[in-house]
Amino acid sequence: MSIAEGQLSAAISNSVVQCTREYTGRGATKARTTIGNDMIVTRMEDTLTKGERSLADNGKGEMVSEIRRCFQMTMRDDLVARVEALTGRKVIAFMSANHIEPDMGVEVFVLEPSSGNGGTAA
């Protein structure tokens, strides 16, 4: 990974965590972004708010997952805009998922194929 790519990866991680904090009141304590040809994946750890953790600990994990899905769909446009601004590329698909135990989440951004690879699989 080049220095520039490492800086971009860190900037995306920070932006995703910041956006999540703005919408939920708390961001992940750990985040790592991996950049591929036309895909960016941000993996976060320790994502749940105190209230969500309390619900999950009391058998309401599915409710917490549903709340998180709602937040992610609400944040979608903001997250996509941030990644597009940082990368200079168009996001053509966004997917998101959470896991309660262990407490992790992922944000996946599929980018429009760059002119260099023609959109074909390697």
User: For the segment 87-122, what is each residue's pLDDT rounded down to a tens digit?
Assistant: 999 999 999 999 999 999 999 999 999 876 554 444
Position 38 in a domain: yes
State residue 100's pLDDT score.
Answer: 96
Examine residue 100 and state whether it is found in any structural domain, yes or no: yes
User: pLDDT tens-digit profile of 8-29?
Assistant: 999 999 999 999 999 999 999 9
Look at residue 59 and tell me if it is in a domain: yes
Please report whether residue 117 resides in a domain.
no
What's the number of domains the chain is made of?
A: 1
* H or E element, residue 93: strand 91-99
Residue-range definition of the domain harbouring residue 19: 3-111
Average pLDDT of span 49-67: 96
Asked if 20 and 81 count as a contact pair (C-beta separation under 8 A), the reply is no
On whether residue 121 sits in a domain, the answer given is no
Q: Is residue 116 part of a domain?
A: no
Residue 33 covered by a domain:
yes
Q: What sections of the chain are H helices per DSSP?
A: 3-24, 50-57, 61-87
Q: How far is it, in rounded angstroms, from Cα 68 to Cα 74?
A: 10
Enter the pTM of the model. Answer: 0.88
Q: Which of 38, 96, 104 is nearest to 72 (CA)?
A: 96
